[in-house]
Amino acid sequence: QIEPHDFVAEICDVICRFNNVLLDMDRDMWSYISLGYFKQKVIDGEIGSSTMPHKVNPIDFENSEGNIGLANSTLSHLSAKLPISRYQRDLSDSTVMRTLGTGFAYTKIAHNASIRGLSRVDCNEERMLEDLNNNWEVLAEPIQTVMRRYGKEAPYEALKALTRGKKVTGETMRKYISDLDLPEKDKEILLRLEPRTYTGNSSTMAEKKTVKEWLEV
C-alpha cells in the first residue's frame, strides 16, 4: 500500500555519518582556537561576547555544531522510522517525510557555517612552537627507538621513568642522551633533535596513498 523508503533511510544515515565527521572537526577547531593554535580574523561590527567586547569567539564552529545536532536528530529518526510499516500499509511515513527537508536544511546551514569558520582562521605558528618547545618529553619516542636498535634493556620503561607525569627540559633530555651507552654518531643525531624539528616517519606515512602502502610501512 505504500512506497518503500529504504533508499531514503540510507541517504539519511550517510548524511548523519558525514555530519558526525564534520562535528568532530568543529569541536577540534573550537579546542585549537581556545588553545591559541589558530587565530580568528576580526570581522568589523561583529559582537563576540555580550559582556566582553574584546573576545573573538569561534561562533561559526559553534553554530555548525548546534545545527548538526538538529539535523542528525531529524535524519536519524527518519532512518529508523521509514523502513518500518505495519503490514506495509501504515501511513505514519507521510507525517515524518515532511521533515526530510528540515534535516537537509539544518545540514546545509551547518556545512556553510563550518566553511565560513575555516575561512576565518590563521595558523598561530608562534603559539604552536611555544607549546612544542615546552614539551621535550616528545623526544622519548626517537630515543627509545635508537635504544632498541642496539638491544638496550627495557627502553620503554626507562623513558617512562624519565618522562611520565614530569616536566622534562631540554637540559634534562640532553643529559640523559649523553649518558646513554650508544655509538657517538647516534648520540649526536639525538642531541641535535628538538621538539619542533622531530616528526618521526610522519612524512613517509603522509605520502602513502593506499591501504597496502600503509601496511608495508
pLDDT in tens, 75-105: 999 998 888 877 766 777 777 888 899 999 9
Q: Is the pLDDT of residue 147 over 90?
A: yes
Specify the 3-state DSSP secondary structure of 109. Answer: helix
Angle at 63 between CA 58 and CA 66, to 5 degrees: 125
Q: pTM for this one? A: 0.74
Supply 29's cell numbers: 577547531
Point out the least confidently predicted range of 86-100, 127-141, 177-191: 86-100
Q: Is the pLDDT of residue 52 over 80?
A: no
Give the C-alpha separation, 58 to 49, whole Å: 11
Point out the least confidently predicted range of 13-27, 52-66, 166-180: 52-66
Beta bridge partners of 121: 40
Give the C-alpha separation, 206 to 165, whole Å: 30
Mean pLDDT of 179-192: 92
Banded pLDDT at 215 (limits 50, 70, 90): low
Q: Give the alpha-carbon dihedral of 152, 153, 156, 159, to 10 degrees.
A: -80
Per-residue pLDDT of 29-38, as tens digits, reads 999 999 999 9
Mean pLDDT of 181-188: 92
The reported pLDDT for the residue numbered 199 is 85
Q: Is the pLDDT of residue 45 over 70?
A: no
Mean pLDDT of 148-177: 90
Give the C-alpha separation, 112 to 61, whole Å: 10
Give the C-alpha separation, 23 to 134, whole Å: 30
Q: Is 192 left (phi over 0), alpha (psi -120 to 50) or beta?
A: alpha
Average pLDDT along the chain:
87
